[in-house]
Amino acid sequence: MLSTFPETFATEVKVPALGESVTEATVAKWYKKVGEAVAADEPIVELETDKVTVEVNAPVAGAIAELVVEEGDEVEVGALIAHIDEGAEGSAEAPAEEKSEAKAEEAPAEKKAEKKEEPKAAPAAASAEATTTNSDHPLAPAVRKLVEDKNLDPSKIPATGKDGRLTKGDVLNFLEGGGSASRAAAPAPSAPAAPKPERELRDGEERVKMSKLRQTIARRLKEAQNTAAMLTTYNEVDMTNLLACRNKYKDGFEKKHGVKLGFMSFFIKACTTALKEWPAVNAEIDGNSFIYKNYCDIGVAVGTPQGLVVPVIRSAEEKTFADLESTIVDFGKRARDGKLGMDEMTGGSFTISNGGVFGSLLSSPILNAPQSGILGMHKTQMRPVAIDGKVEIRPMMYLALSYDHRIIDGREAVSFLVRVKECIENPERILLDI
């Protein structure tokens, strides 16, 4: 029996759809404990995917009857994660140890008896069991499908998951390493491979598991380096006129539109102007074809405590300065709160990254695949420059354009960056489209 509350109905809470191509998530944090009251549509758990964090709300009002999974567990879309006793009056707070004890208390005695009898299963079932277990743990649906599709023997794959569980990453790493041991060709079952030993920590060290977001960032950046013929060209831009323009109109702009006038909107407009003239920088490679885009979906890199995310401003070329600044402010706030939607971070055609806000003077950004170009902005710094034969101190910024040389030639890359420079040094060009 799932609940001790009288005259109530147990409602299942399942993992919702997480977005295109996202099939699993990690239980990051439970907001409620067993026995606590919950209102309808109140967040009860936070799930972390490889792109965003998602809150799951209670479908009904009542009390938490059971937490099926624990923090740190990996769950599939559609998986059962909790039960709510609809209509029950729960407590405001539950004992801290209740969550861990609840599952043990609620487990039927029959289930425990079943577990003890499992080793007595008939030998005929041993081969079938080998396809669904690894290190005495059931395989997750995604892992089982991958193992069956590739005809692999799970007992031959080193498992690094919690309690020796086999993860999807373990299978992919096994395949990348040239592993191909099939179930049909596998010898008699042997003891499962032990998890990779972890390095012993020294005094002062702390081990923290990589989040799915950080794992995805690492994987995508490495894939971009391995796939694209990546090259970076540099230039510098005199920010004098842009600073003067901003200082002149910032108060009136904020009064009228309710948002501050920043630099990013000028750079977005400069990039959309240049992308129209050099469309290859806005294109991508798909197999043996080039895909050119008649729109500018600009990704703006935002640093968060969880890692770098890149929300996308759709059709940026059609938006006003006020629209751009409002969107940027909204993205920044929701990115830090982990509230960005999956659809807001996919499908960009070009990316702008501003390392200057953290003090970076010069860097080479890495492409955001499958995009072919990314612009790196940097810190504005007073430097001596030659102006009309005289040395003057000007606010200068280095710009860096990393691009895929497979689709973008050097001439196109340099010309694009020069066009951005011209638009920034003379902001009126953006408005006059010259």
Structural domain range at position 222: 213-432
**From the candidates 41, 136, 343, 409, which is the catalytic residue?**
409
Q: Is the dihedral of CA 37, 44, 337, 259 positive or negative?
A: negative
Query: pLDDT tens-digit profile of 86-97?
Result: 877 766 654 444
Tell me how far apart the alpha carbons of residues 124 and 148 are, in angstroms, rounded to a whole number: 19
Q: What is the mean pLDDT of residues 309-315?
A: 92
Question: What's the pLDDT score for residue 126?
Answer: 39
**CATH label of the domain that carries residue 46:** 2.40.50.100
Range among 69-83, 183-197, 318-332 rated most confident: 318-332
Q: For residue 235, is pLDDT > 70?
A: yes
DSSP string, 158-174: PP-SGGG---HHHHHHH
Q: Could you tell me which residues are beta bridge partners of residue 78?
A: none
Q: Could you tell me which residues are beta bridge partners of residue 230?
A: 404
Element (H, E) at 149: helix 141-149
Q: In terms of domains, do 224 and 342 share one?
A: yes
261 part of a folded domain: yes
Q: In terms of domains, do 138 and 103 share one?
A: no
147 part of a folded domain: yes
Q: In terms of domains, do 228 and 369 share one?
A: yes
Is residue 35 within 8 A of residue 63, CB to CB? The reply is yes
Is residue 54 within 8 A of residue 114, CB to CB? The reply is no
What is the distance, to the nearest Å, from the Cα of residue 319 to the centroid of all Cα atoms in its chain?
26
Tokens of 132: 């669904």
194 part of a folded domain: no
Residue reference for tokens 């990453």: 169
22 part of a folded domain: yes
Angle between helices 168-176 and 141-149 (to 10 degrees): 30
Is residue 313 within 8 A of residue 268, CB to CB? The reply is yes
Question: What's the pLDDT score for residue 133?
Answer: 45
409 is catalytic: yes
| Final residue belonging to a domain, choices 107, 135, 150 | 107
- Strands 43-48, 53-57: pairing kind: antiparallel
Q: Could you tell me how many helices (H) and strands (E) the chain has, helices first?
A: 11, 21
Q: For residue 152, is pLDDT > 60?
A: yes
204 part of a folded domain: no
Question: What's the pLDDT score for residue 10?
Answer: 81
Question: What's the pLDDT score for residue 75?
Answer: 87
List CB contacts of 61: < 8 A, sequence separation 6 or more. 38, 39, 40, 86, 87
Higher pLDDT, 233 or 335: 233
Q: In terms of domains, do 55 and 170 share one?
A: no
| Final residue belonging to a domain, choices 160, 176, 192 | 176
Whole-number Cα distances in Å, 395 to 230, 263, 357: 29, 14, 15
Q: In terms of domains, do 345 and 408 share one?
A: yes
196 part of a folded domain: no
Q: What is the mean pLDDT of residues 156-185?
A: 71
DSSP state of 139: P
Q: What is the pTM of this model?
A: 0.59
Q: In terms of domains, do 348 and 325 share one?
A: yes
190 part of a folded domain: no
pLDDT bin (cut points 50, 70, 90) of residue 191 is: low
Question: What's the pLDDT score for residue 123?
Answer: 41
Tell me how far apart the alpha carbons of residues 32 and 66 are, in angstroms, rounded to a whole number: 10
How many CB atoms within 10 Å of residue 229?
10
Question: What's the pLDDT score for residue 119?
Answer: 46
383 part of a folded domain: yes
- Strands 373-377, 390-404: pairing kind: antiparallel
- Percentage of the chain exceeding pLDDT 70: 80
- Percentage of the chain exceeding pLDDT 90: 38
Q: In terms of domains, do 305 and 422 share one?
A: yes
Q: For residue 361, is pLDDT > 90?
A: yes
Domain count, the chain: 3
Q: In terms of domains, do 155 and 68 share one?
A: no
Residue reference for tokens 């009126």: 428
Angle between helices 321-336 and 264-277 (to 10 degrees): 110
Question: What's the pLDDT score for residue 315?
Answer: 95
Q: In terms of domains, do 311 and 363 share one?
A: yes
Tell me how far apart the alpha carbons of residues 102 and 282 are, in angstroms, rounded to a whole number: 54
Tell me how far apart the alpha carbons of residues 156 and 167 are, in angstroms, rounded to a whole number: 13
Q: In terms of domains, do 314 and 421 share one?
A: yes
Query: pLDDT tens-digit profile of 114-136?
Result: 444 444 444 444 334 444 445 45
Q: In terms of domains, do 45 and 155 share one?
A: no
Q: What is the mean pLDDT of residues 221-242?
A: 91
**CATH label of the domain that carries residue 167:** 4.10.320.10
- Strands 381-387, 312-313: pairing kind: unpaired
Query: pLDDT tens-digit profile of 253-288?
Result: 999 999 999 999 999 999 999 999 999 999 999 988
**From the candidates 73, 257, 405, 433, which is the catalytic residue?**
405
Q: For residue 295, is pLDDT > 80?
A: yes
**CATH label of the domain that carries residue 408:** 3.30.559.10
Question: What's the pLDDT score for residue 55?
Answer: 83
Outline where 166-308 has alpha helix (H).
168-176, 212-227, 240-257, 264-277
Tell me how far apart the alpha carbons of residues 79 and 44 are, in angstroms, rounded to a whole number: 15
What is the distance, to the nearest Å, from the Cα of residue 75 to the centroid of all Cα atoms in its chain?
17
Q: In terms of domains, do 126 and 21 share one?
A: no
Q: What is the mean pLDDT of residues 219-237?
A: 88
Tell me how far apart the alpha carbons of residues 291 and 276 are, in angstroms, rounded to a whole number: 15
What is the distance, to the nearest Å, from the Cα of residue 274 to the centroid of all Cα atoms in its chain?
29
Q: For residue 109, is pLDDT > 60?
A: no
257 is catalytic: no
| Final residue belonging to a domain, choices 79, 107, 135 | 107
